[in-house]
Amino acid sequence: MQYTYIKAYKDNDKMRKSLNKLTEKTFGFNFENWYSNGFWGDKFHPTFFGRWR
């Protein structure tokens, strides 16, 4: 089984949409408007470790 480590993927559309989907399901909001309006700065670096298709 192979795992993937991805850091700071805000400009990766596929990964960002996955984060938004999880955040929406879990907390009832997502980051897309925040990202689209330029509020996602360089201090927030979402990180992924797992199996990615």
Residue among 17, 48, 49 at smallest CA distance from 35: 17
Tell the residue number behind the tokens 């201090």, with chain if given.
Answer: 43
Average pLDDT along the chain, 53 residues, taken 10 residues at a time:
88 91 95 91 88 75
CB-CB contact of 48 with 6 (8 Å) = yes
| pTM flag (> 0.85) | no
Q: Are 14 and 23 in contact (CB under 8 A)?
A: no
Are 35 and 16 in contact, with CB atoms under 8 Å apart? yes
Closest CA to 41 of 11, 12, 14, 17: 11
